Structure 1
Amino acid sequence: MTGHRLRHAVRRADLPAVAETRRLLRDHLRLWGVPAMVDTAELLTSELVTNALQHTTGGAVLVATLSPGPGPRLRVEVQDSVARRPRARVVALPEDHQGTSGRGLFLVETLADAWGVTAWDSGKVVWFELSDPRK
């Protein structure tokens, strides 16, 4: 297998486009032969794209790359612009947390094999990586 790449732009405040972004990622992961990654990748991508659209003044760009090898690895990056600076560390939610907001990065931290944030002058990239669970 050679590496695969998906790039998809989402317009500012276009929250309905999150479902389209999930569908594109799902279709590409199946086409690329890693259907076991679909559920987790869709969930985490939804969280990152939604956060980018809700907490910034610009749109978002999704870049998903599947690296080849005996253990394929998926890296998903969500780039935004004119964002508030992210916190360097995610704090775990208390057991009795009942809110519906603020769980996105907690899910990313819990389910991804690796994740991080790269800030720049005009925005940031939040990324996560997943290994194929079948390998």
Structure 2
Amino acid sequence: MDGHRTERRGPLGRGASARRVLPRRPPRGHRLTRKLARADLRAVGEARHALRELLDRHGQEASCADTAELLTSELVTNALVHTADDAVLTAVVRRGRLRVEVRDQAKGVPRARTAVPEEHTGGRGLGLVQSLADAWGVRAVGAGKAVWFELETGAAGPG
């Protein structure tokens, strides 16, 4: 089945087996996963670099990579500055799309704010994500949340 993998479970009745359709995971070469240590802002640059390598390996357009790096920096920075625990960055390139997700243990739902230039440089991150991403959102994950965005990559990419 295209886009899915199946899992077979033990026999049911006369040797029949139940099938459960599971989403297909992209091959490891198309996925980036990084643990982000709490308050370690060096992780922001490391995440950008790893994401650029992932996109370069798959021939993604430079404009997509630039935007992806910027938005990833914003999500990683938010997770490291506004939460008290580690976070996890996941990026997947698949079927002409890039999906980046940063999971953390904070319960609060972030909201895009209007930055006031005279006050400070903060408050622009989610506004950038909102305006530059093709899609973005927040979902509950365990005790915390995942903030994610998607971009069209401009390349067919792996499928």
TM-score after normalising by structure 2: 0.73
RMSD: 1.9
* Whole-angstrom CA distance in 2 between matches of 1:61 and 1:31: 22
Q: What is the identity, as a one-letter code, of the residue corresponding to 2:109? A: P
Aligned pairs for 1:59-70 within 5 A? 59-68=86-95
Q: Which has the larger radius of gyration?
A: 2
Partner of 2:112: 90
Deviations 1:14-70 (A, max 9, x none): 1111101100000110011113321000000000000001111111111101112xx
Partner of 1:115: 136
Query: Match for 1:48 among 75, 84, 100?
Result: 75
Structure 2 residue runs without a partner (length 5+):
1-25
Contact 1:5 / 1:66 at 8 angstroms: preserved in 2?
A: yes
> 2:84 aligns to what SS in structure 1?
coil
* Whole-angstrom CA distance in 2 between matches of 1:64 and 1:120: 16
Q: What is the identity, as a one-letter code, of the residue corresponding to 2:73? A: S
Contact 1:11 / 1:59 at 8 angstroms: preserved in 2?
A: yes
* Whole-angstrom CA distance in 2 between matches of 1:59 and 1:123: 11
> 2:46 aligns to what SS in structure 1?
helix
Structure 1 residue runs without a partner (length 5+):
none
Contact 2:33 / 2:89 at 8 angstroms: preserved in 1?
A: yes
Higher strand fraction (1 or 2): 2
Partner of 1:8: 34
Structure of higher RCO (CA pairs closer than 8 Å, 6+ residues apart): 1
Partner of 2:7: none
State how many pairs are aligned. 126
* Whole-angstrom CA distance in 2 between matches of 1:59 and 1:22: 17
Identical-pair percentage: 54
Q: What is the identity, as a one-letter code, of the residue corresponding to 1:75? A: R
Contact 1:18 / 1:46 at 8 angstroms: preserved in 2?
A: yes
* Whole-angstrom CA distance in 2 between matches of 1:134 and 1:24: 19
